[in-house]
Amino acid sequence: MGRSKRLTISGFALGALWFGTLAGCNTGSGSQQLVEKPGTTGGTGDNSNSSGGSTDVGTTASSTSGAGSTTGTTGTKPDPNFKPNRSFQLGDLQVAMCTVKGHKFRLWVMDTNDKRMEGMMQVENKDFSDDQGMVFVFASEAPQKFWMHNTLIDLDIAYCGRDGTINTTYTMKALDETTDYSSKKPSQFVIELRAGTLKKFSIGPGDRFAIPAEVVAKD
């Protein structure tokens, strides 16, 4: 993740990373976003999918995604996906099961400023499957903007309101630091998936992700 500095548009999430908020905030080195304060999360409890007309139901996994260490008769084996240049290993992150249009996705939960700033940086396609991705969660709805600094793979991004309804989508190009991938409406959740997933399942604005109520911002 990159050094932080003050911006007039408070923040970008880098790569799968977050960049900040609209009122001046920190920057990172991956996906960007515009939030009220860099990493302002934590407190509304008013999370997506606790209400709404969708029949999809999200659940939170009590264990990690399976990208972590494996245990055999000889004990714990090193994580083959360990990345020394990441602060948060995928196998150590909380996973939430989120559903949209009947399709289930296991999403790593990025619920703190540090996690949002790192996002999908340095992750490769071999590190995750088609039904995996990330959900960035904020304390409340705000304009968001992500970029692709240090992000090595193309990604689909879906900006969602507090009830999980998608308002904006893009396919972001690897290492693209110039294209404006801003949300068109204030968003509380931002979901990143393998590039091509949204088109494959005809997922777009107006569709709603069922996100577990316990997926909340921690700072």
Q: What is the pLDDT of residue 91?
A: 95
Q: What is the pLDDT of residue 69?
A: 43
The two structure tokens encoding residue 170: 């893009």
Q: What is the pLDDT of residue 177?
A: 97
Report CA 67 to chain centroid distance, whole Å: 17
Establish if 215 belongs to a structural domain: no
Between residues 57 and 7, the one the model is more confident about: 57
Establish if 46 belongs to a structural domain: yes
Report how far residue 11's alpha carbon sits from residue 46's, in angstroms, rounded to the nearest whole number.
23
32 falls in which pLDDT band (50, 70, 90)?
very low
Between residues 185 and 70, the one the model is more confident about: 185
201 CB burial (10 A radius; 0-12, 13-18, 19+): middle
Establish if 209 belongs to a structural domain: no
Establish if 163 belongs to a structural domain: yes
Establish if 188 belongs to a structural domain: yes
C-beta separation of 14 from 26 below 8 A: no
CA-wise closest residue to 149 among 165, 173, 183: 173
Report how far residue 219's alpha carbon sits from residue 215's, in angstroms, rounded to the nearest whole number.
12
Establish if 214 belongs to a structural domain: no
Q: Residue 56 maps to which CATH number? A: 2.60.120.1140
pLDDT greater than 90 at residue 41: no
Q: Domain range for residue 196?
A: 40-67+77-139+151-200
pLDDT greater than 70 at residue 54: no
Q: For the ranges 36-40, 168-172, 199-203, which has the lowest average pLDDT?
A: 36-40
> Average per-residue pLDDT in the chain?
77
CA dihedral 56, 172, 94, 9 (to 10 degrees): -100
Helices and strands, number each (H, E), in the chain: 2, 13
78 falls in which pLDDT band (50, 70, 90)?
confident
Total tally of structural domains belonging to the chain: 1
Establish if 207 belongs to a structural domain: no
Establish if 32 belongs to a structural domain: no
Report the residue count for the chain.
Answer: 219
C-beta separation of 33 from 20 below 8 A: yes
